[in-house]
Amino acid sequence: MSIQRRTILKGALAGSAIGIAVSAGLLTPQRVLAAWPKDAFEAKAVDDALKALNLGAPAASPDITVKAPDIAENGAVVPVTVETSLKDVESITLVAEKNPVPLIASFDMTPATEGFISTRIKMGATQDVRAIVKAGGKVYEAKKEVKVTIGGCGG
């Protein structure tokens, strides 16, 4: 009887410890997974992906620069840098319409970060790389055409 009681007590203690760890944000993987916007990444059209991220109808902006090569010999590795002088940047999102998954990456920014992101992406065909920037509650964009010699989405 007493042994059983001990086991139950131990179990309860262990359970509550995990609960505390989760609520304190110590178990980041769970929190991390929940935030990944599946609908946006499964969208086959750029417009649907942007809508799912609340980035509908972006306005062209001269305050965003998209740096990428004019010609990418290898579509599997295309360096892209986005820089913006817009204030209060909330997010920077990269899309490529002709990719099997048009939404490539979305970066949630904070007041601690500057409007700058540099990464390397895959491009399936010659197309525009579009950078959508949400800043001060408004949605802006800029784009850059990249000619792709060998597509990078087949592996």
Partner 1 sequence: MASGTIKIKAKAEGGVAEVKALISHPMDLPRKDKTTGQEIPAHFIQELVAELNGKPVMTALWSGGVSKNPYLAFKVKANAGDTIKLTWKDNKGESDSAEEKIS
> What is the binding site for partner 1 (CB under 8 A)?
28-29, 32-33, 35-37, 41, 76-79, 81, 96, 99-101, 103-110, 112-114, 116-122, 152-155
Nearer CB in complex with partner 1: 87/120: 120
Q: Which is nearer to partner 1, 56 or 100 (CB)?
A: 100
97 contacts: CB under 8 Å, gap ≥ 6: 46, 127, 128, 130
Q: Residue 122 in contact with residue 152, Cβ under 8 Å? A: yes
Task: Using the minimum distance from each CB to partner 1, give the nearer residue, 42 or 145.
Answer: 42
Handedness of CA 49, 129, 122, 91 (dihedral sign): negative
- Taking the complex as a whole, the smallest distance from the CB of residue 84 to partner 1 amounts, in Å, to 11
- Shortest Cβ distance from residue 135 to partner 1 (Å)? 15
Residue 146 token pair: 């990249």
By beta-carbon proximity to partner 1, the closer residue of 13 and 150 is 150
Are the C-beta atoms of residues 64 and 142 closer than 8 Å to each other?
yes
Question: Measured between alpha carbons, how far is 23 from 56 in angstroms, rounded to an integer?
Answer: 33
CB of 110 to partner 1, least distance (A): 5
